[in-house]
Amino acid sequence: METSAVHLILSAVEKKKFQMVWSPVHIKEIEATTNEIERAELLYLIGKTQSSSEVNNLLTRNRAEFFVTQGLGIADAAHLAYSESFKADLITCDDKFAKKSKTINPAIWVGNPVAFCEKEELL
């Protein structure tokens, strides 16, 4: 069901219903992907869907550091801080991260692809 939800979201992005934003952490994670085809496909997706919005890197870094003090890992804290900077919903397949994020009360919605599709009535 989660895979179908991801496909629905990507389809909505292609139709310009939503914009996707990426943090520098995404690039690092993708570059670490050992599967060359998967890495190429993800880099293509980023190039095709990247929002042109700018963020204040100092404020975003400070917010990420705060999230680390609240128990998030460095990468998860950065994802959450960048999403807040963009005022963007954060869609994750990591249920543990989503649950922990909600306990620190971020300024944005955080959840899995199925919950996002339900929220946006894509299902």
CA atoms of 78 and 76, how far apart (whole Å): 5
The amino acid sitting at 40 is A
Task: Give residue-wise pLDDT tens across range 47-95.
Answer: 887 765 678 989 999 999 999 999 999 999 999 999 999 999 999 999 9
Report strand pairing: 90-91 vs 110-111: parallel
User: Quick one: pLDDT at residue 51?
Assistant: 66
User: Quick one: pLDDT at residue 23?
Assistant: 83
At 21, list the tokens. Answer: 């934003």
User: Quick one: pLDDT at residue 52?
Assistant: 59
Q: How would you classify residue 105: left for phi > 0, otherwise alpha for psi between -120 and 50, otherwise beta?
A: left
Average pLDDT over residues 105-116: 97
- The answer, as to whether pTM is greater than 0.85, is yes
CA atoms of 58 and 6, how far apart (whole Å): 31
Q: What are phi and psi of 93, to 5 degrees?
A: -90, 0
Task: Using the structure block, give the residue that is written with the tokens 């219903």.
Answer: 17
- Are the CB atoms for 86 and 53 separated by under 8 Å? yes
Task: Give residue-wise pLDDT tens across range 22-54.
Answer: 888 888 999 999 999 999 999 888 888 776 567
Pick from 89, 43, 83, 49: which is nearest to 67 by CA? 83
At 85, list the tokens. Answer: 């900077």
Answer yes or no: is pLDDT of 110 > 90. yes
Average pLDDT over residues 93-121: 96
Class of domain 2-118: alpha beta
CA atoms of 10 and 15, how far apart (whole Å): 9
User: Quick one: pLDDT at residue 21?
Assistant: 87
